[in-house]
Amino acid sequence: MDMVVRTSRAPEAGETLFGQDFTLSPGGKGANQAAAAARLGAEVTMIGRVGKDAFGSELLEVMRQEHIHTEHIGQSETLSTGVASIVVDGEGENRIIVVPGANTEMGPADIAALAPIISQAEMVVLQLETDLSMCAHAAAIADRHGIPVILNPAPARALDDAFLQHVTYLTPNETEAGILAGMAVNSIDDAEQAARILLQKGVSNVIVTLGPKGALIVNHAGSLHIPGFPVQAVDTVAAGDSFNGALAWQLTKGKTLDEAVRFANAVGALAVGKKGAIPSLPQLPEVEQFLQD
Ligand code: ADP
């Protein structure tokens, strides 16, 4: 659950300020990715955990409203629902503290028990606001069954090569690509260099998202820049998550990677054109109309 406070400036230590407004907004990278794919028409099963608190109940309700299967979202007896405390200052700069809470309770053993569910999927989509060893285990199970894996490596964390070898599509933004590859990424050329380092670690395809500039596909066949769509950005929350949900859905529809990335760029552009995380995600007709215009 995203708890967003808007204020003219962030408080100093020990200082109390009056802010401008407060919004409570369902979010979290996993939930955003799931909702993005579901709104486009994908059948989505979400695996995760919330707390036995008001936020947990509300998030489960939101997932159901988005037609996402929630049977494998557990409820922790002891830990709170994951929250992000977000302070947005007058310059639009974010300061964010994430408390993963119940998300940290799930480990590899929980995922092993869900192997029969995972093995029926057409695509497994992961992000890193959860336990790393659990994610790695989910990727390994998917790989064993020949199921492609998309990993949105956000928030950026050091990843073992053993995990990366199970990743079919790695989708860092420029900052994350830089952290994972151990270099500064300030241009499309840098992004390509970072992606090549990640390919050497065993990933099959790297798609570096480039904000308004779109995305760069890098694999052993070569590299291709797919330009973004010019839009008036209102709120960049969930841009990357919506991109990943859309990419997953397109690839399961049998689209080529180039086509899927172009479509995901359109979904990302539509998501930055509206406020909020899940509320900003487009439905399929909106994307089709946007691509025709
Ligand atoms: P993240 O949100 O993870 O930091 P990006 O900022 O790279 O990731 O955004 C993800 C995708 O969303 C981009 O690849 C692009 O398709 C789209 N996008 C993001 N910002 C804009 C923007 N200002 N204008 C148009 N498209 C955008």
Q: What is the C-alpha to C-alpha distance for residues 259 and 248, in angstroms, rounded to an integer?
A: 12
**What amino acid positions are annotated as catalytic residues?**
241
pLDDT of 165 > 80? The answer is yes
* Banded pLDDT at 91 (limits 50, 70, 90): confident
Contact 119, 61 (CB under 8 A): no
**Each residue of 116-142: pLDDT tens digit?**
999 999 999 999 999 999 999 999 999
pLDDT of 94 > 90? The answer is no
**Each residue of 169-187: pLDDT tens digit?**
999 999 999 999 999 999 9
Nearest protein Cα to ligand 1, atom 22: 212
Q: What is the C-alpha to C-alpha distance for residues 270 and 25, in angstroms, rounded to an integer?
A: 18
User: How much distance in Å is there from the Cα of 202 to the middle of ligand 1?
Assistant: 25
Nearest protein Cα to ligand 1, atom 26: 269
* Domain range list for the chain: 28-78+101-292
**pLDDT recorded at residue 120:** 96
Range 28-78+101-292 classified under CATH 3.10.580.10:
no
Q: Is any ligand 1 atom within 6 A of the Cβ of residue 172?
A: no
Q: What is the mean pLDDT of residues 165-171?
A: 98
pLDDT of 63 > 80? The answer is yes
Q: Find the range with the poorest average confidence among 75-84, 133-142, 215-224, 233-242.
A: 233-242
pTM of the model: 0.95
pLDDT of 21 > 80? The answer is yes
pLDDT > 70: percent of the chain: 100
**Each residue of 189-203: pLDDT tens digit?**
999 999 999 999 999
Nearest protein Cα to ligand 1, atom 5: 211
**Each residue of 32-57: pLDDT tens digit?**
999 999 999 999 999 999 999 999 99
Q: What is the C-alpha to C-alpha distance for residues 127 and 138, in angstroms, rounded to an integer?
A: 11
Determine whether the annotation assigns residue 258 to a binding site: no
Q: Is any ligand 1 atom within 6 A of the Cβ of residue 171?
A: no
User: Mutate which of 209, 224, 257 to test ligand 1's pocket (most atoms within 8 Å of Cβ)?
Assistant: 209
Which atom in ligand 1 lies closest to the alpha carbon of residue 229?
Answer: 25
* ipTM of this complex: 0.99
Determine whether the annotation assigns residue 273 to a binding site: no
**pLDDT recorded at residue 119:** 96
Q: Which two tokens stand for residue 121?
A: 């999927």
Nearest protein Cα to ligand 1, atom 13: 211
Determine whether the annotation assigns residue 280 to a binding site: yes
Q: What is the C-alpha to C-alpha distance for residues 7 and 277, in angstroms, rounded to an integer?
A: 19
Contact 152, 33 (CB under 8 A): yes
